[in-house]
Chains A and B, each alone.
Chain A
Amino acid sequence: MNEISSALLQAVSFGTPILLACLGATVNERAGVSNLGVEGMIAVGALAAFATANSTGNPWLAVGAAIAAATALACVHAVATIPMRANQFVSGLALTLLGTGLAGLLGKSYEGFPLAIHVPEWPFVALAGLLTLLLAFVFSFTRPGLILRSTGENPAAVDALGISVPLVRFVAVLIGGAFSGLAGAFLSLVYRPSWMDNISGGLGWLAVALVIFVAWSPLRAAAGALFFGVLYYLQFRLQGATRFPTELLAALPYLLVLVALGVAGARQAAGHAPAALGRPYLRGER
C-alpha cells in the first residue's frame, strides 16, 4: 500500500512539468501554431527561476521570472511565425537550440549550487490540475475558447468576422510560453532543486508528442502525463531490481512515444488535429 502511494506521488511529481508544458502546447496548437521550442522555453524558465530564487529568496518572484523568460522566448517564435510567416516547425527547432543554448551558457555560474530556499511541491501540482480543468472549461464553454479553436480550424472564418487572427495566435503562443516557464520553474525549484545544464532532458519533447497522443484535449493530457509519470517511476524502480540494463530503460519514454504515435494514436489522432495547424495565415490566400 505504501509502495503504491509513494509510486503515485513520484508519478505525479514527474508528470506535473510534462502536464504544464503539454497544456501550453495544446493552447498554441489549438490556435493553429505549432511550437517545437517547448524544450528551450523550459530551459530558460528553469534557469530564470533558479537565479531569481537564489538572488532574492522569493519563490513568487522566481516563478514570475520563469514565466517572463519563457514568454519572452515564445515571443520570438510568435514574431517569426505569425507576421513573418516563417516555417513553424523549423522556428520551433531553432527556439529549442537557442533556449537550451542560452540557458546552458548563462547558467554556467549557477551550476553546482543548491537552491537557497525551500519551495513546496503541492502548489505546482494543484496549479497544474486547476489549469487542466480551466482550459477544458474555456475550450468547451466560453467564447474566447471558441474563437481560439476556430482560429486553428479555419482562420479565414474568424477573420471574416472582424476578429484579428494574428492577435489570437500571438496571445496563444505567449500563453504556451508561460506554461512552459511554469514547468521549468517546477524543475529547478522543486524537482531537482538546483540548476544544471540540460535540466529538462527531453521532457519538452515528451510534452509536444503528448499533445498529439491525447488528441489536443486538456483532460486527456492530465491522464497522459500521469501515465508518463508512472513510467518514469517504474524506470527508476527497476534500476538494479532487474537484469534489464538501466541505459536502455532511459530510452523507454521515447520508444513509447514512437510506438504510441505510430500504432495507436496517429491514424485516429490525425483526424483531431486542428485543420490549419502549422499553416501561416495570409488574408486572401486559400
Chain B
Amino acid sequence: MRLSPVSSPGPWRRLLVTVIALLVAALICAGVFALYGVAPLEAYRSMLGTLGDPVGLSEVVRRSIPLLLIGGGLTLAYRAQFVNIGGEGQLLLGAVGGSGVALFVPPGPWTLPLMFLCGTLLGGLWALIAVWLKVRYRVNEILTTLMLNYVASSLVVYLINGPWKGRNVQGYVYSDLFPGAATLALLPGTQVHQATLVLGVLVVTGLQFVLTRSVFGYQLRVVGENRAAAEYAGIPVGRVMTLAALITGGAAGLAGVGEVAGIHHRLLEPGELSLGYGFTAVIVAWLARGNPLLVLLTAPLLGVILAGGDVLKIDQNMPFRIVDVFSGVMLLCLIVSELFVQNRVRFGPWPRRSYE
C-alpha cells in the first residue's frame, strides 16, 4: 500500500473521508461497549433514541448550545493556530462572571445583559493569559490553557465553599439561587434556554462572515497559515492572535453564563456545571475543519453523544466516562483521516524519494 498526494482535495472527498472516519470511530466504540459487557447495537439504539422522542431531542439541543458557542469560537482560534484546549476553564470563568452579577448586583432589567457581558469578559480574560504567554514568551498554549482549566476549577470550588457559599444550603456546596431577573426563559417542558441558542447561531454566523469577508479574518488566516508571511507583510501577529483568543474565550464565557442562567440558576461544582464541553468542543471544531458555519451541523452531532451518554448512564448503568472514550476515539480517527484527505491510497510497493 502506498500513498500519492492529492493536489487539491475537494469538499466531497473531505466529506466522504470524514464520514468513513466517523464510522470507523463508531465501530471501535462498539468494541468498547462489548468489552464493558453492553450489547453495542443496544447501546447505539439507546443513544440514537434521544433523537426519536421530544424529551431526548430537547436534551440534545440543550447540550448543543454550549458546544455551538465554544466550538464556533474554537474554529476561529484554530484558524489562527491558537490551539485552545481551555474551553472548559473559560466556560467556568464565564459562569463565575455571570453568577457574580446575579448574586451581588441588585436585580433589574439590566441583570441578564450584564451577566452575559461580564461572563464574556472573564472568559476572554482567561484566554488572554494563555495568549499573552504565547505571544510574549512563546509558551505552548496547549499546556497553559490546560493548566488554566485546573486553576479555574479550583477557583469555582473555592467560591462555592467559601465566600459565595449559599446562606441557606446547609451541607451542600453551591451558591444561593439566582433572583428571577437573572434566569433565562426555557422552552416549555424542556431545559432549552432559547435565548442562548439564538445567540449561538448568531455568533457562528457572524464568525463565518468575519473569517471570510473581513480584513481581520484575512489577517487571521494569514497568521494561522504562515506566520513568517504574516510578519513579512506587516500583519500585527500578536494583536491578531490576541483578538482571536479573546473571541474564543469570550464565546466560551458566554456559554458558561447560559448554563448558570438557563439551567442551574446557581454556581455549583465544576463537574456539574460542565460535562466536559470544553473538550468535546475541540472535536466539534475539528469536525467543522475550521468553518464556523459548519459548527451548526457538528455541534448537534456531538450533542447527541453527550445526551446519549446520559441515557446510557440510566439505561445501561454505564459511567458517563463513555463520553470521553467516544471523544478520544473520534478525535483520533479524525486527525488520522486527514492523511487520507490529502493522499490517495494506491496499492503497490512504496516509492523511494529522491535524495533532493
B-binding residues in A (CB < 8 A):
36, 40, 76, 80, 84-87, 89-91, 93-102, 104-106, 108, 160, 197, 202, 205, 208-209, 212, 245, 247-248, 250-251, 254-255, 257-258, 261-263, 266-267, 270, 283-284
Contacts and interface: CB of A to CB of B under 8 A. Distances in A.
A94 B155 contact: no
B150 interface: yes
Among A94, A96, A245, A247, chain B packs the most CB atoms within 10 A around the CB of A94
B138 A105 contact: no
Nearest to B144: A258
Nearest to B340: A84
Nearest to B282: A93
Contact of B324 (A36, A101, A266): A101
5 contacts: A97-B328, A105-B322, A251-B154, A261-B139, A270-B138
B115 to A, nearest CB: 24
A101 B335 contact: no
B321 A197 contact: yes
Contact of A76 (B36, B332, B338): B332
B143 A208 contact: yes
Contacts of B282: 90, 93
A87 B151 CA distance: 27
Contacts of B233: none
B139 A262 contact: yes
A31 to B, nearest CB: 18
Given A245-B162, A251-B154, A257-B143, A90 B335 contact: yes
B32 A93 contact: no
B143 A197 contact: no
Contacts of A95: 328, 332
A261 B158 contact: no
Given A251-B155, A284-B353, A266 B138 contact: yes
> What is the interface of chain A mostly: helix, strand, loop, or mixed?
helix
A16 to B, nearest CB: 21
A90 B83 CA distance: 9
B158 A248 contact: yes
B164 to A, nearest CB: 12
B151 A105 contact: no
Contacts, number: 151
Interface of B: 32, 35-36, 83, 85, 129, 133, 136-140, 142-144, 146-148, 150-151, 153-155, 157-158, 161-162, 279, 282, 286, 318-319, 321-329, 331-332, 335-336, 338-339, 352-356
Contacts of B323: 101
Given A98-B328, A284-B356, A104 B319 contact: yes
Contacts of B318: 105
Contact of A250 (B154, B286, B324): B154
Given A93-B85, A105-B321, A202 B140 contact: no
Contact of A96 (B154, B162, B328): B328
A80 B332 contact: yes
B32 A266 contact: no
Contacts of B155: 247-248, 251
B32 A247 contact: no
List the 3 closest A-B pairs by CB distance, nearest first.
Answer: A98-B328, A101-B324, A104-B321
A258 B332 contact: no
A209 B147 contact: yes
Given A106-B35, A266-B138, 8 more contacts: A87-B338, A89-B83, A101-B324, A106-B36, A205-B150, A250-B157, A261-B140, A267-B137
Nearest to B130: A258
Contact of B148 (A90, A94, A108, A258): A258
A254 B32 contact: no
A261 B151 CA distance: 15
B287 to A, nearest CB: 12
A101 B325 contact: yes
B327 A97 contact: yes
A87 B335 contact: yes
Contact of A248 (B36, B154, B331, B339): B154
B354 to A, nearest CB: 6
Given A245-B162, A262-B137, A94 B331 contact: yes
B139 A266 contact: yes
A101 B322 contact: yes
Contacts of B139: 261-262, 266
A76 B331 CA distance: 12
Contacts of B319: 104-105, 108, 197
B329 A98 contact: yes
A248 B152 CA distance: 10
B133 A258 contact: yes
Contact of A94 (B328, B339, B353, B356): B328
B336 A86 contact: yes
Contact of A202 (B138, B150, B161, B324): B150
